Amino acid sequence: MIENRDKMAKVRDAAAYTLSEAAHYLRLPPATLRSWVVGRKYPTAEGSRGFPPLIKPASAKPPMMSFTNLIEAHVLRALRTEHGVSVKALRNALGYAQKALGIERLLLSPELRAEAGRVFLDRYGELIDLSASGQLALRKVLEKHLRRIDWDETQIPIRLYPFLGGADGGDWRPIAIDPRISFGRPVLLSKSISTAAIADRIDSGETIADIAADYDLDQSEVEEAVLYERAA
């Protein structure tokens, strides 16, 4: 059991995704994800300054992300892009979670869904001066993102269901990213078929109906795979 757990941990934490791949899978602007993983410099009156990354990548040179890094970025998407708040405020709030709540990597932690998460969000809301209604909206967005993650019996994230379009939080989750399946690439979960392979077959001139018949899929699954792969 321990050996299997250690093996799975290595798979989850292995460098597996370029920044461009991860940005595509998570529906994030590449420049945004890069700033989270690499950091960013900006000009000031006193000269160039910068902020350190929010996510420690599995590999720094070149920057490569692991599956656990994908989960961290997915959660950051809820906290950062949905409300457009500053990276500084987010870093301060994460620092508060570590120092006051004793949580090293809150973005990967089950505590984010429990009392510590509520305390964190209260503090986060204070730091970015959110109204009561804004804090409620933030919690709802975070809940939608957390529902797209499966956790194992030890409360470690093991599977991500990426958003197909906007962050609608719908119940249908045909596409999954699981480090144990297809080397962690997005697949149609019902048959473990790569979404990229389906999109490539469409581009080569095959029909949705033919592909669905080949893989014993619903045509709607094939359509979702293509839309997911070809979304801007």
The pTM assigned to this predicted structure is 0.82
**174-224 tens-digit pLDDT:** 999 999 999 999 999 999 999 999 999 999 999 999 999 999 999 999 999
Encoding tokens for residue 126?
């204070």
pLDDT band at 47 (very low <50, low <70, confident <90, very high): low
pLDDT range class, residue 73, cuts 50, 70, 90: very high
Average pLDDT taken over every residue of the chain: 81
SS3 185: coil
CA distance 16 to 47: 36
Highest mean pLDDT: which range of 5-19, 42-56, 102-116, 159-173: 5-19
Which tokens in the block code for residue 160?
A: 């991500």
Longest CA–CA separation in the chain, Å = 63
User: Rounded to whole angstroms, how far apart are CA atoms 44 and 114?
Assistant: 40
Reading the block at residue 101, the tokens are 């709540």
Token pair in block for residue 222 = 């094939």
Residue 28's nearest CA partner among 89, 78, 92, 93 is 78
The whole-angstrom separation of Cα 65 and Cα 144 is 23
Angle at 65 between CA 52 and CA 113, to 5 degrees: 80
Between these two residues, 107 and 71, which has the higher pLDDT value? 71
In the numeric block, which tokens belong to residue 1?
């059991």
